[in-house]
Structure 1
Amino acid sequence: MPTHTQCPRIAIVDIPGKGKGVIAKQYIPPGALIISEKPRITLPAQNSGMVDRQGLVRIFQALAALSQDDSEFIMSFPCAPSEDPILGRLKHFTPCFGDNAFGLCLTISRVNHTCYSANGSPNASYRWNTRTKEEDLRAIREIQEGQEIEVSYMSDITNYESPPAYLRRKFGFECCCEGCTRPPAERLASDQRILAYNAFVPQVHSRFGKENPLQILKDLEIQILILCEEGYIFEVAGRADDAFELCASYGDAASGRQWEEICRDRYAIHLGTDSDDWKVAQRLATRPQDYVGWQALGRRNLKGPSPRILEYCYRNIETARAESTESVASGGVAQSVASSFDLPSAGAPVKLSKGQKKKAKAKAKKQVAQNSDKTVVTM
C-alpha cells in the first residue's frame, strides 16, 4: 500500500470496482485540511460543456501542447466506452473558480464519489482556494485509518437533480453508493424532501416582518433536521445564518449569537478558518449588532437553537471518535451515526443539560481550532 510521498496521512491505491482511489493512512478528524495541491494540468474553462467550436479548438490546442507524461496522466483516468476517449476524460477536471480554467490534480482528482444520503455521505469535500490558487481537500467527517476518502461530484443542492440520473448524464457511470442503491421509493422520498427544501429557502427572507418570527424559526429548525437526515450538513450553515439574521433583525443578540455560532463552526469544518465566510460568521457571532439589519423589525426576544439542533451540531463532534472506534472494533461500518454528523436513525434524541451543551460546544470549537489548518501540502 504506497503512501503519498508528500502527504503521509493518505495513499493512492486500487479500489475494487472503482479503479484508483485515496485512503487514509491514519485517523483524520473533521475540519482537518488533508492536502492542498496545485493542478498538474490546467485547461481553458470551456472544457465544461464545450458548446462552441472556438472553445473546442482552444481545448485541443492546449492538449496538443502537453508533454507525453501529462498526456498519459490524463489517459490514466477512466472513461466510459461510449465516450470520446479524450473528451470523456475532461469530466475529471474541476473548476479553478475565478481563474477561467479547469484543473486536474495529482491526488485530489483521484478521490472517488459517494452521494449525500441518509445511508451515508462523503467524508471530505474539495474547493478551489482563490487565495492560494490551490485545490483544498478537507475532512468534513471523521475518517478512520484505512477508510476510503470520498467526496460528492454532485452540483450544488440548489441545482438539485436526482443523483443516479445526474451522475449517469454528467459522468457516465452508474453510482452504487448506499444512497443510490436504496429502494426507488426511498430515493424518491429524498428527492421530494430536497426539492421542498429548495422551494423553502428563497422564501425565508420575504417572510421576515410579515409572519410570526417564532414560526419562521420553527420552520428553519425543521429544514435543518431534514438537511441532517439527508446528509447535506454544509447547508446547515446557511439556514443557521438565516435564523441569526431574523434574531438580529429583532435585536435579540443572545439568540442570534447562538445561531451564528453554528454557522461559524460549520464553516470552520467545511471551509477552514482562513475562509472569508468563516471570518464574517466569527465577527457576527462575536458582535451580532454588526449585522446590517440590526433591529430593523423592532425589539423582541426570540429563541436560539433547540437542544435537539445543538445535539446534532455539537454532540457528535465530541463523542464521534470514541464511539466510531468502538464500532469499527466490533465490525461496524464507519458510516454509522457515531462517525458522522447524521441524525440518529432511530430513537428519541438525547436530551442534553445546559452544562453538557456548553461543554460539547467548547470541545467542538477547540477541536476545530486545532485541526482546521493541519497538513498543508503544496504540490
Structure 2
Amino acid sequence: MSTIITRRTLLAGAAATSALPLIGGAQAQAPLGVGFVYVGPIGDHGYTWTHDQGRLALEKEYGAKIKTSFIENVAEGPDAARAIRQLAQAGNQIIFATSFGFMNPTIQVAKQFPKIKFEHATGYMRAENVATYNARFYEGRAVLGTIAGHMSKSGQAGYVASFPIPEVVMGINAFHLAAMKVNPNFKTKVIWASTWYDPAKEADAAKALIDQGADMITQHTDSAAPLQAAEQRGVFAFGQASDMSAFAPKAHLTAIVDDWSGYYIKRVKEVMDGTWKTGDVWHGLKEGMVKMAPYNAAMTPAARAAADEVQKGIIAGTLHPFTGELKDQKGTLRLKAGETASDEMLSKMDWYVDGVQA
C-alpha cells in the first residue's frame, strides 16, 4: 500500500494530514508507516526514481505489513521541513529524507518527534533518532572516467553538475583522476546547472560543453536530457543513477546505478523488530549499493577491460580512486605518494584536483 502526497497537498497543510491514517493507539495492528521525501519527481529516471524503486521494493518485500507514502518535488529549504513534518504527523514511524539539502530540516523535525526514526541520505548530521546513509558514487565515477580516458578522441569531457556540495565535487574529481590515469593530458570541463532536475537547463549545459570540444558528457543531474543532447550531437555520454540507455542508445556507454533497495528493506525490518539504531552507512560497489549499467557495444575492448579492472580493484580493496600523490588546482599537496583519502576528507571535499576546469 502506498500514498502519494503532491506538493499542492503539502502546501494545503492540515487538510491533507487528516486524510492519512494514524498509526498506534487504537490501531495497534495497523501497518508500519514508512515515509519518503524526494527532491525531484519520481519520473526523473535518475536519483529520485532509484529511491522510489527502493520504496517499491519495500512494498514487495513486506506487503500489507507496511504502508508507504511519499512527497515528491520538494525544494531544499522550508518546504522540506513542512514535508517531513507532515509525514511525521501522518503517523509514519520511519521517514527517509533523500537529498543533501534536507539535512537541517530533518534534524529540526526529528527534535519535535523523538519517537519517530529518521534517515537522511548523503548528509552527516545525526541524532539519537536520526541516522545517515550514502552511496560511494565516486567509485562508479572512477569507472566512468576510466572509460572516458580510453574512448575520448578529443581528450576532453564535459561534466553537467548540480550544486558544489562534497558529494558532487568528489565525483568530478574521481572521474577526472581516473581519466588522467589513461590520458595524462585529459581535461574535464564543468558547467554548474544549479539544479538537480531541469531538463532544459541540463540539455543547454551539455550542448555548451560539446560546443567547447567535449566528446564525452557525464552528469550529476537527474534527467536524461544531457544524454539526449549527446545523442543528437553524435558524442558519447554516461547515465545518472540508473540505466538510461533507452533514452540515448548510441550515446549511452554505461551508467552508475543506485540500488537503495537492500538498505531500505534492512532498516524497515529493524524498526519492525525494535532493533533500529542511529548510525552512518556509506556503501559502494562492494556492497552493491552502487552498480554499473551494461556496457554499450561501441566500447572498445581496451575500455571494457580497463573498466572491469577498476571495478575489481575497488571491490577487492586494492584500488582507491583517491590515491596520492595528489595536488589540487592551486598546486597544494593534498595526498602524499601512496596515501589514500580518508572518508573524512572525502565527506568535506571542497577543492578540485589539478586539471579540472570548474
Provide TM-score, normalisation by structure 1.
Answer: 0.28
Question: Greater strand share, 1 or 2?
Answer: 2
Structure whose CA Rg is larger: 1
Provide TM-score, normalisation by structure 2.
Answer: 0.30
Question: Greater helix share, 1 or 2?
Answer: 1
